[in-house]
């Protein structure tokens, strides 16, 4: 674990009003973040809402119908396993539904630590591949364009789509770039040998292995190939799964990224403990792991990380260089947006494996 220079809860559900009638905000978390040319920070935050109404004997599951708008489905309690606070699993059919629906909202921060105002544009689910929500955006700047990977969830599975913007007001959708189930896609900040690079994280249904991180290359950001396994889960703090966290930044030593890892016994209910580790990928061939941290560099420690919708979760989703510091934006307890900072030299020195 590394010393943090500060930790600040930037946004929590109580800061916003629900968007949909009859709903409450249960999470504002897993933010994409990027520094703009004036030094301020643009954030794209996952906002998660759930129905207020309770019906005896039923669980509720919202979805966005492309024609009707928001619909709440009431699912019989006895037919569903609800041991995970996020999902309802049909006992006989095995199908999953989410207990909430997520969309994205833009925020700006002049100092990088506090949100300026809460009225930024919203990106809502629209297509049939987004009916259960838009989640966990990651932002990469290439030239004048911000490229955003977004997890799109529906009855067809958990896919990753691409969006782009130049101003955080108008957004263009480019469709699905990684088919289900695949999430935690982060795009590199520059091409290597003339090609775009991304990390992605397939979720194998035939569980030969817990979910691992992969790397892929592309000529146009839309069609991805040359897939290679990059980093598998290990023991201890990363036994349950690993996945891409922050889009990498280019350093003199190679590409530096934070990733997340979960610790949990396979049959243990709930989410487990999510920590962040660091990874250095070779600058000339990012499919080679040059170094990574032996243990987590950040683990849940402050109240807004250890308590909340999913206690004990830190989920890094963006990293910004500020002088000799690295500012990390992250989801805390699947409920809040946190920002913390490390000395850049401390992170590089921790890459000892
Ligand atoms: C997991 C969690 C949830 C998310 C679903 C679908 O259960 O990451 O937060 O809503 O996957 O992506």
What spacing in Å lies between the alpha carbon of 91 and ligand 1's midpoint? 19
Name the pTM for this structure: 0.97
Residue 283 Cα to chain centre, angstroms: 24
What spacing in Å lies between the alpha carbon of 228 and ligand 1's midpoint? 24
Atom 4 of ligand 1 has which residue's CA nearest to it? 86
Q: What is the pLDDT of residue 35?
A: 98
Q: Compute CA distances 32 → 41, 65, 184, 293, 324, whole Å.
A: 10, 26, 12, 23, 21
What spacing in Å lies between the alpha carbon of 144 and ligand 1's midpoint? 31
Contact 265, 258 (CB under 8 A): no
What spacing in Å lies between the alpha carbon of 37 and ligand 1's midpoint? 33
pLDDT in tens, 6-63: 999 999 999 999 999 999 999 999 999 999 999 999 999 999 999 999 999 999 999 9
Q: What is the pLDDT of residue 333?
A: 98
Contact 264, 275 (CB under 8 A): no
Q: How far apart are CA 197 and CA 211, in angstroms?
A: 20
By the 10 Å C-beta count (0-12 exposed, 13-18 middle, 19+ buried), 33 is classed as buried
86 close to ligand 1 (CB < 6 Angstrom): yes
203 close to ligand 1 (CB < 6 Angstrom): no
What spacing in Å lies between the alpha carbon of 136 and ligand 1's midpoint? 9
User: Average pLDDT of the chain?
Assistant: 97
158 close to ligand 1 (CB < 6 Angstrom): yes
216 close to ligand 1 (CB < 6 Angstrom): no
pLDDT in tens, 257-300: 999 999 998 778 788 999 999 999 999 999 999 999 999 999 99
Q: What is the pLDDT of residue 350?
A: 96
Is the pLDDT at 331 greater than 90, yes or no?
yes
Contact 59, 84 (CB under 8 A): no
């Amino acid at each position: 674990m590394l010393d943090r220079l500060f930790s600040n809860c930037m946004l929590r559900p109580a800061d916003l009003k629900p968007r949909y009638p009859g709903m409450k905000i249960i999470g504002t978390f897993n933010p994409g973040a990027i520094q703009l040319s004036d030094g301020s920070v643009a954030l794209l935050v996952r906002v998660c809402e759930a129905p207020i109404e309770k019906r005896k004997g039923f669980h509720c599951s919202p979805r966005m119908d492309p024609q009707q708008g928001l619909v709440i489905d009431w699912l019989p309690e006895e037919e569903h396993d609800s041991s995970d606070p996020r999902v309802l699993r049909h006992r006989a059919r095995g199908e999953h539904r989410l207990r909430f629906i997520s969309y994205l909202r833009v925020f700006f921060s002049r100092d990088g630590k506090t949100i300026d105002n809460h009225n930024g544009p919203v990106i809502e689910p629209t297509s049939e591949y987004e009916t259960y929500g838009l989640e966990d955006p990651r932002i990469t700047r290439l030239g004048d364009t911000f490229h955003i990977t977004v997890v799109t969830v529906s009855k067809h599975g958990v896919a990753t789509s691409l969006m782009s913007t130049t101003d955080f007001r108008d957004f263009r959708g480019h469709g699905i770039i990684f088919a289900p189930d695949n999430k935690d896609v982060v795009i590199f900040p520059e091409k290597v040998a003339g090609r775009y690079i991304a990390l992605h994280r397939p979720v194998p249904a035939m569980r030969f292995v817990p979910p691992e991180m992969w790397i892929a290359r592309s000529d146009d950001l839309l069609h991805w190939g040359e897939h290679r396994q990059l980093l598998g889960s290990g023991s201890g703090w990363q036994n349950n799964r690993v996945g891409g966290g922050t889009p990498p930044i280019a350093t003199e030593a190679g590409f530096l990224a934070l990733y997340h890892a979960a610790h949990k016994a396979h049959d243990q209910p709930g989410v487990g403990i999510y920590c962040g580790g660091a990874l250095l990928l070779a600058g000339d061939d990012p499919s080679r792991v040059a170094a990574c941290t032996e243990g987590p560099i950040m683990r849940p420690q402050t109240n807004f990380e250890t308590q909340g919708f999913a206690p004990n979760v830190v989920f890094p989703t963006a990293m910004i260089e500020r002088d000799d510091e690295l500012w990390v934006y992250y989801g805390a307890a699947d409920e809040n947006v946190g920002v913390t900072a490390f000395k850049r030299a401390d992170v590089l020195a921790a890459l000892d494996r």
